[in-house]
Amino acid sequence: MASEFFSKLSESIERTGSALCVGLDPRPQMLPEKFRDSSEPLLAWNLHVIESTEDLAAAYKPNIAFYEALGREGFDLLKRTLEAIPRDTPVILDAKRGDIGSTAQAYARAIFDVWGADAVTLSPFLGRESIEPFVERSDKGVFLLCHTSNPGASDIQELPTPVEPLYIRIAREAKSWSQHANIGLVVGATFPESIAAIRNAAPETWLLIPGVGAQGGDLEAAVRSGTRSDGSGKGVLVNVSRGISLAEKVRKSAEDFHRRIADALRQPRLEPEPPALSIVDDLVSLGAVKFGDFLLASGKRSSVYIDLRRAIGSPGTMRKLAAIYASQIENLQQKPDLVAAVPYGALPIASIVSQAVGLPMIYPRKEIKDHGTKQPIEGVYSPGERAVLVEDLVTSGGSVLEAAEKLRSQGIEVKDAVVYLDRESGAAERLQAHGIELHAALTLSRLLQRLKSR
């Protein structure tokens, strides 16, 4: 069920025929020449933008920073600007607030009661309690910063969490932070692949997409990546600020953006490339994919050789691999107690996967040392615990079976094995016959198909 704010936004989109949001960000240093003789030039500029776009804009988004920077006069400018916006057109006050307790409550009163905005942008960095004073207002809306349009967005927003990048975690968490379904996400048009990933993580959540126009975001790719899979055409709102307000002909520029957004919403949705495929180019650049005549550990010969050990030369690629494996483990029907590496090629991968999913790691030795503790299995474990085997790739499945037998001999239960690549040479069937289900992120045929499309 849509919140009051998103119902109002949907009605506005229906009425205007497009999902265009117009930014109102007056900057004295950018004031167009034609307004400089006005007694109130910045107000005249804002009013001109509103009058030129009021039948095209599904929403308006003033950025409060540009008004606060003007001091007392700026507050008056914001008040009169908001009064000029048609009452049936939603107003999103771009404030990017983020605090807790009484401070957050004060911010909420300022945004909604003093300024009368319909929605606000917020930072989720301080967690759920920092947005509660805003989302508890069932008639209002909130857009949380998720993956922004600035070049440095990936510095923090793409940091790995146990299963996925931080921005995807935000997209998933946000859905549970309000009982009124009044939370949307801010996702920059400069990262269409991230928009698609966010849409997959949050199929119904509204997306506010800035970064079009002056910031150079690909409007069509952003809209087609963010639109809902039900084909409703709703679920995205595209903000344009300088691309309209600084245009020589404001009306014409707004009409052009209006048309382009509407056209893009009618196009099929752009599906994101699965993570297992998205790192193929990384692996190729690292020399992990080779062609020739190779003898495999299984005794078979192959014209293609995949060496995931090369991935340790790229921390970024290792993080992506860890997220792929972690997602597989998170989706297992029965959660394991341990991550068990198949020695020795999978040791580097299993070690970071162990950290990603927060489970202890063990591994069976190929040979027992004749000195030291002479342990058959390295790590801390107890008989009766369940382990998931981690391997880089499988051909016949022999190395996985060998590792499983050693673990089982010590009382450890083994029912699942996760791998990046299945060479499709019978491993899945052989492992199943021994009570182990194979979970492969990618098959060799799909990898080769991806390489042909490069």
For the domain that residue 143 is a member of, what is the CATH number?
A: 3.20.20.70
Task: Determine the straight-line distance between the first and last CA of the chain, rounded to whole angstroms.
Answer: 43
In-domain check, residue 24: yes
Q: Which residues pair with residue 217 across a beta bridge? A: 212
Task: Give yes or no: residues 72 and 211 share one domain.
Answer: yes
418: Cα separation from own chain's centroid: 24
Distance of CA 62 to the CA centre of its chain: 25
**Among 34, 61, 96, 335, the one annotated catalytic:** 96
| Pair 17, 87 in one domain | yes
Q: 322 and 433, same structural domain?
A: yes
**Do strands 59-62 and 119-122 pair parallel, antiparallel, or not at all (unpaired)?**
unpaired
Residue 56 to residues 15, 59, 242, 250, Cα–Cα distance (Å)? 9, 9, 16, 12
Residue-level pLDDT at 65: 97
| Omega within 30 of 0 (cis) for the link into 344 | yes
pTM above 0.95, yes or no: no
Give pLDDT, residue 1.
52
pLDDT score at 331: 86
Q: Which residue shows structure tokens 């494996």?
A: 325
Helix, strand or coil for residue 149? coil
Positions in the chain whose pLDDT score sits under 70: 1-2, 162-163, 213-214, 230-233, 368-373, 454
Kindly give the interhelix angle for 166-174 and 192-201, rounded to the nearest 10 degrees.
40
Catalytic annotation on 96?
yes
Q: How far apart are CA 238 and CA 443, in angstroms?
A: 38
The per-residue DSSP string of 52-106 comes to HHTTT-SEEEEBHHHHHTTTHHHHHHHHHHHHHS-TTS-BEEEEEE---HHHHHH
Left, alpha or beta for 384 (phi > 0: left; psi -120 to 50: alpha)? Answer: left
Residue 29 lies in a domain: yes
Identify the pLDDT of residue 212: 84
Domain span at residue 137 reads 4-265
CB atoms within 10 A of CB 76: 14
How many Å apart are CA 257 and CA 183, to the nearest integer?
25
In a domain, 207, yes or no: yes
282 and 247 co-located in one domain: no
Task: Kindly state the tokens that stand for 342.
Answer: 């198949």
Residue type, 240: V
Q: Are residues 158 and 129 in the same domain?
A: yes
Torsion (CA) 52, 56, 58, 62 in degrees, nearest 10? -20
Same-domain status, 65 and 105: yes
Predicted pLDDT at 370: 62
Same domain, 147 and 217: yes
Q: Are residues 104 and 15 in the same domain?
A: yes
Which stretches within 159-269 are classed as H helix? Answer: 166-174, 192-201, 219-226, 242-245, 250-265
What CATH number is attached to the domain comprising 326?
3.40.50.2020
Asked, for residue 65, whether it belongs to a domain, the answer is yes
Given a contact cutoff of 8 angstroms between Cβ atoms, the answer to whether 311 and 317 are in contact is: yes
In the block, tokens 């597989």 appear at: 328
If asked whether residues 380 and 288 sit together in one domain, one would say: yes
Q: Are residues 207 and 317 located together in one domain of the fold?
A: no
User: Residue 82: what are its φ and ψ, rounded to 5°?
Assistant: -65, -35
Question: Are the CB atoms for 90 and 12 separated by under 8 Å?
Answer: yes
**Residue pair 368/376 in contact by the 8 Å Cβ criterion:** yes
d(CA 264, CA 221): 8
Instruction: Specify the pLDDT at position 2.
Output: 62
Query: What's the pLDDT score for residue 214?
Result: 64
Q: From 265, 293, 318, give the residue that closes a domain.
A: 265
Q: Are residues 193 and 298 in the same domain?
A: no
Mention every residue, 6+ apart, whose C-beta is less than 8 A from residue 124. Answer: 98, 130, 131, 144, 145, 146, 170, 173, 174
> Among residues 212, 237, 265, which one ends one of the domains?
265
Q: How many domains does the chain have?
A: 2
Domain termination residue (choose one: 243, 265, 287)? 265
Q: Does 350 share its domain with 423?
A: yes
At residue 138's C-alpha, the angle toward residues 114 and 103, to 5°, is 50
Q: Is residue 270 part of a domain?
A: no
